[in-house]
Amino acid sequence: MAEITDEEFLALTTTVKSHEAEIHQLDVDEKLAIYGYGKQGGYGDCTDPEPSSDDAVEHAKWSIWTALKGTDKQAARQKFKEITVKYQ
């Protein structure tokens, strides 16, 4: 597969964000996958401190991104592209 450049990935994430209303309708696992692969593809491994479990949403987002630790940025970008193809 062809490498996804930073510019291409930024354009892809911007396009996906423009479909926020549709993405909001997805189940939690699908939304978290989009979030996690988006973060891993954009920034690499999560270095943020673990948020309080009192904030369930932020903790779930941190957990999914942390679970992807060690995933190559290119692999994460490809997966993000695959799971968001209907929004491109």
Helix or strand run (H / E) with residue 59: helix 56-67
Exposure b/e, 36-67, CB count within 10 A at least 16 = b: bbbbbbeeeebeeeeeeeeeeeeebbbebbbe
pLDDT of residue 37: 98
pLDDT at 1: 76
pLDDT value of residue 88:
78
**Residues in the chain where the model's pLDDT stays below 50:** none
- The CATH class of 6-87 is mainly alpha
Residue 13: per-residue pLDDT: 96
